[in-house]
Amino acid sequence: DTEVTQTPKHLVMGMTNKKSLKCEQHMGHRAMYWYKQKAKKPPELMFVYSYEKLSINESVPSRFSPECPNSSLLNLHLHALQPEDSALYLCASSQVPGQGAYEQYFGPGTRLTVT
Amino acid sequence: QKEVEQDPGPLSVPEGAIVSLNCTYSNSAFQYFMWYRQYSRKGPELLMYTYSSGNKEDGRFTAQVDKSSKYISLFIRDSQPSDSATYLCAMSANTGFQKLVFGTGTRLLVSP
């Protein structure tokens, strides 16, 4: 089963709100990723977790706070966002390098609108 | 110069046509090559994955990698209207972590 699930599908939030995006995978992958995608652009990497530890932070503003509570779950906590943060937020997972294939599987995304 | 170049299209073809989608890249360290299909407002769906050079076939889809020319292709045979989507190439080097570098995506329109 090559499925990554994300909730919610859509989220509208004000600039003072706090909200969280959730991602879950049951493929036994130990690497999980958050990407941001603007319209007509490719996904941009935000964070990478490997074995539940943050491995890469692509200089993302602190108003985005990732969390990996266990090997299947990945959260992205949002606080004091700006309208320009409106985008499709994608979660992905893969094997950890050195443990097999490297392909990343993406979830359906959460469409975030900041008002 | 971008690391990965991909023609944004749109590429319009009639149903049944053979479609050729391409990417060129500049980083000779890239060894892992992927093609994703993305429908509007959905997440990218992995179509093909190739390690190093060569061809790989899956149903109507064939992926080719030519590392000597730094050129990868995706061929779609007997294209269907349901193939209308944006196709993203992605690649990464074997440098210890999986940072994918994406092309900008090619929008494909298959008309009935």
Contact A103 B36 (CB under 8 A): no
Interatomic CA distance for residues A35 and A108, integer angstroms: 12
Chain A residues at the B interface, defined by Cβ less than 8 Å, are 2, 4, 6, 31, 33, 40-43, 45, 48, 50, 55-56, 88, 90, 94, 97, 101-109, 111
pLDDT tens-digit map of A21-73: 999 999 999 999 999 999 999 999 999 999 999 998 999 999 999 999 999 99
Distance from CA of A74 to the nearest CA of B (A): 16
- Token pair 């690649």 is found at B91
Interatomic CA distance for residues B87 and B21, integer angstroms: 8
Contact in structure between B35 and B47 (CB atoms under 8 Å): yes
Q: What is the dihedral of CA A102, B43, B55, A97, to 10 degrees?
A: 0
pLDDT tens-digit map of B56-95: 999 999 999 999 999 999 999 999 999 999 999 999 886 6
Interatomic CA distance for residues A75 and A54, integer angstroms: 12
pLDDT tens-digit map of A93-114: 998 877 666 789 999 999 999 9
The pLDDT assigned to A47 comes to 96
